[in-house]
Amino acid sequence: MTQAAPGRTADEVDPRPVVRHERLHAGRVFDLVRDDVDLGAAGTVTREYLDHPGAVAIVALDDADRVLLLRQYRHPVRGFLWEVPAGLLDVDGEHPQAAAARELAEEADLTAARWDVLVDFATSPGASNESLRVFLARDLGRVPEHERHVRTGEEADMVERWVPLEEAVALVLDGSLHNPSAVVGILAAAASRAGGWASLRPVDAPWPYRRGALPA
C-alpha cells in the first residue's frame, strides 16, 4: 500500500484518462455506462457504473430543533423508510438550493427563509457518480394551500413526523433509520449544532463532485 504524501486530508478530483466510453443502457433517471480507464502503471481497467444527475436533500429544522422525517415506500429495498425531503437535480440550469426549495415545497408543503449547506457526500462512489448535497433549512413556513403540489406515486401517501434532533440521532445509531440522506444529514446537523453551527457553508459553496463540475 502506498503512503499518502503529508498534507491536508481531503478528497481530490484527479481523473484518470478514459480511453473508451460506452452507454450500456439509457434509463429514465440514470444510465448504465462502461469506461475503460488508464491507471498508468496499474494498467487499463474496465468499470461499469450508474451515470446519475445528482440530488439534493433537506434537513428541515423547526424552532424547537425538531427535524422533519417523511415515510415513503422504496421498492428496491421493499419497504417504507423514514427520510428527509430530497429530490433529483433533473431540471436543466436549476441552482441546487432552488432545487432544494422546490423539493421541500413539493414533498412537505414547507418554505424556509434560511438556507445553508450542511454536508456533501457521494452516495456509492464505487458504483455511481451520484453526488448529493444536504441543505439545512430553517425559519420554516407553510406553502399556501392553493399553491400546494399534488403528490403522486409513492409520494401520494407519505406520512410526516417531527422528531427532536437528539431522538433522530438515536434512531440512526440504533439501526432504526437507513436512508443515507437522513443518516448523513441528521448526524451532520447534530455535529454542526454542537459546534455552534460554525461548520455551515453558504449555498454557493464549491461542490466539486457534482456531475456537471467533473471533467467529462
Residues designated catalytic: 155
Q: In whole angstroms, give the CA distance from residue 16 to residue 21.
A: 13
* Cell 441543505 found at: 135
Q: In whole angstroms, give the CA distance from residue 13 to residue 151.
A: 38
- From the list 204, 114, 108, 122, the residue with the least C-alpha distance to 161 is 108
177: how many CB neighbours lie within 10 A of its CB? 21
Give the HSE-up count for residue 106: Cα atoms under 13 Å, Cβ half-sphere.
14
36: how many CB neighbours lie within 10 A of its CB? 14
The identity of residue 157, as a single letter, is D
Q: In whole angstroms, give the CA distance from residue 147 to residue 167.
A: 32
Residues pairing with 161 in the sheet: 69
Q: Can you state the angle between helices 165-173 and 180-194, rounded to 10 degrees?
A: 130
Q: In whole angstroms, give the CA distance from residue 33 to residue 27.
A: 11
DSSP 101-138: HHHHHHHHSEEEEEEEEEEEEES-TTTB--EEEEEEEE
